[in-house]
Amino acid sequence: MRRIGSRGVLAVVVGTAAAVIVVCGSNSDSGSQKAASASGPVTLTWWHNGTSDPLKGVWQGVANSYHAAHPKVTIKVQPIQNEQFTTKVPLALQSSDPPEVYQQWGGGQEATQVQSGKLMDLTPLTQSWIRQIGPAAAGWQVNGRQYGVPFDLHIVGFWYRKDLFQKAGIASPPSTLADLNADVAKLKQSGVAPIAIGSKDRWPDAFWWEYFAVRECPTSVLKSSMKAQQLSDPCFTKAGNDTQAFLATKPFQTGFLGTPAQQGAGSSAGMVANGKAAMELQGDWEPGTMAALTSDKKLNDKLGWFPFPSVPGGKGDPNVALGGGDGFSCTTKGTVACADFLRYIDSAAVQKKLVESGAASLPANPAAASAIKIPAVKDVLDYSKNAAYIQTYFDIALPTAPGQALDDAVADFFAGKGSADSVPKSVQ
């Protein structure tokens, strides 16, 4: 899955990650403690995609601290490579022994999984506290029922080097597509790659096509198309034309099709981090990803952020954003202890620790927003609060099969295969 890896596994350098989260039992009310342990000793097998530190250690710290507060509940942590979730989860839900807790991205993907009958309906077990998350919790609902809970939220936009913009004579970030094209030309003249992209991993390509679709299509069309699982409106073909025209300007680094997104200093994230490229269209997690790919300790001071620009003639609201989030679901094996564990993950204290450690950029619980220290990430948070609508990544909003087909079609389109209408047709 394209954004499973990018959103969930952050390469951030922190201290002793294994002990980064230690939260006392006072964060659990007595009622939830009783609910979690009423049936006696419980073991919850927990699948998440934090296979390396710091996230691996952070999640282990969460499991340890929850167990310390609830001695009868043991959390058996099983980190899973993020790319394996698309195959392991469906197989597990077909078996008689799925994990009690597993990573969940909501949307149509979650709706596909609900059909297995193995997901726990968390609605009655979360109704006393889910409102603290706000409207974002709806992204983990199916037919109005809560089958998952987010622990962080995401917004996609442009991360840029303020110093490289200044060197190229760019006074302010672009607000229109014409501005962006003009800035690309200026950056080329200054001798730097205007935009970095990690097309080797394929999923970053989809951000571009999807954002052009968000700018071309009215919000009502976006919503109805996701529901109908069809991208038949002409605005989606216009998005393909926009993408094709933008690719023709050659805005990306040489050899972008062979560049990874986040692995090593030569990745697209590494290029921006080390001043080899001026900007990148990526999620709010990117400052944390970049931090491990450069020796520049003052990188955060050089980074700025701006939303995807408006597109001339587009009928989409220019204040609509593309995003999503990470969360967890419980299976029917989980008992009420599983739901209480998710409540614990979304408590303000744990959420603040997630942000402070770099394991999350935008916490699901607004009460933890004060833990955000990077100025540009604060800009993302402010933008998300004022966004007219946040369109969930198409491959997550759609059921699993058409979502994957869309990803593959966009990647092929970037590689010169297909036409402006090939992406919409791939879904249908």
**pLDDT tens figures, 13-70:** 333 333 333 333 333 333 333 333 445 799 999 999 888 777 788 899 999 999 999 9
> Do 375 and 275 fall into the same domain?
no
Whether the per-residue pLDDT at 366 is higher than 50: the answer is yes
pLDDT at 29: 37
Q: Residue 153's beta-bridge partner residues?
A: 325, 362
pLDDT tens-digit readout, 194-209: 999 999 999 999 999 9
The CATH number linked to 95 is 3.40.190.10
Count of C-beta atoms within a 10 Å radius of residue 247: 15
Q: Any residues with CB less than 8 A from the CB of 151 and at least 6 apart, and which?
A: 325, 326, 327, 328, 345, 346, 351, 354, 360, 363, 364
User: In the structure, what pLDDT confidence band is assigned to residue 81 with cuts at 50, 70 and 90?
Assistant: confident
Whether the per-residue pLDDT at 12 is higher than 60: the answer is no
> Do 19 and 99 fall into the same domain?
yes
Q: Residue 256's beta-bridge partner residues?
A: none
Q: Residue 326's beta-bridge partner residues?
A: 152
> Do 167 and 217 fall into the same domain?
yes
Average pLDDT over residues 80-86: 84
pLDDT tens-digit readout, 271-324: 999 999 999 999 999 998 898 899 999 999 999 999 999 999 999 999 999 999
pLDDT at 39: 58
Give dist(CA 77, CA 157) in Å, integer: 33
> Do 265 and 180 fall into the same domain?
yes
Whether the per-residue pLDDT at 336 is higher than 90: the answer is yes
Boundary of a domain, candidates 354, 369, 385: 385
Q: Which of 63, 278, 105 is nearest to 191 (CA)?
A: 278
pLDDT at 105: 93
Range of the domain at 330: 2-154+324-385
**Exposure class string for 202-215: b at 16+ Cβ within 10 A, else e:** bbbbbbbbbbbbbb
Choice among 127-131, 257-261, 287-291, 367-371 with the minimum mean pLDDT: 287-291
Give dist(CA 362, CA 307) in Å, integer: 16
> Do 186 and 301 fall into the same domain?
yes
> Do 142 and 171 fall into the same domain?
no
pLDDT tens-digit readout, 377-419: 999 999 998 899 999 999 999 988 899 999 999 999 999 999 9
> Do 197 and 56 fall into the same domain?
no
pLDDT at 22: 37
Give dist(CA 277, CA 160) in Å, integer: 9
pLDDT at 334: 83
Give dist(CA 345, CA 349) in Å, integer: 9
Residue 352 contacts residue 371 (beta carbons within 8 Å) = yes
Average pLDDT over residues 363-386: 93
> Do 32 and 166 fall into the same domain?
no
Domain count, the chain: 2
